[in-house]
Amino acid sequence: MQHDLSVQLAQALAGRIAPNGAPVTLRIDYLTLSSGVVDCGSSRDKIGGVAIIGGVQTPLRASTSYQPAPVDHVAAGQINHDRVSQLVQALVFWVARDLT
């Protein structure tokens, strides 16, 4: 899953630079895929780390909701890939917002 996360982040950030031309780097400190139902039938997946833009570090975090389905155990690999993709998209949203 770590390799999958690295590839997705690299693709999402490809070509992204700050308005001043500084490169954008992300360091992921944690990624948590929840395993159970917590509230109203869903639980929270979480990702957090640091964006480094022009040498300035900014803490980041994002979360998405996950609602388990009875068939998730059959395609667990694909489900986890999709969940990581959603987390990456959420995190990149916040990075992109900070770049404008």
- The mean pLDDT values, 10 residues at a time, for the chain of 100 residues are 64 66 83 72 84 86 82 71 87 76
Q: What is the DSSP letter of 23?
A: B
| Alpha-helix residue ranges (DSSP H) falling in 1-100 | 2-13, 76-99
Predicted TM-score (pTM) of the model is 0.72
Q: How far is CA 69 from CA 40, 85, 87, in A?
A: 14, 18, 19
Q: Which residues contact 85 (CB under 8 A, 6 or more apart)?
A: 8
Q: Report the run of H or E that residue 57 belongs to, with start and end.
A: strand 56-66
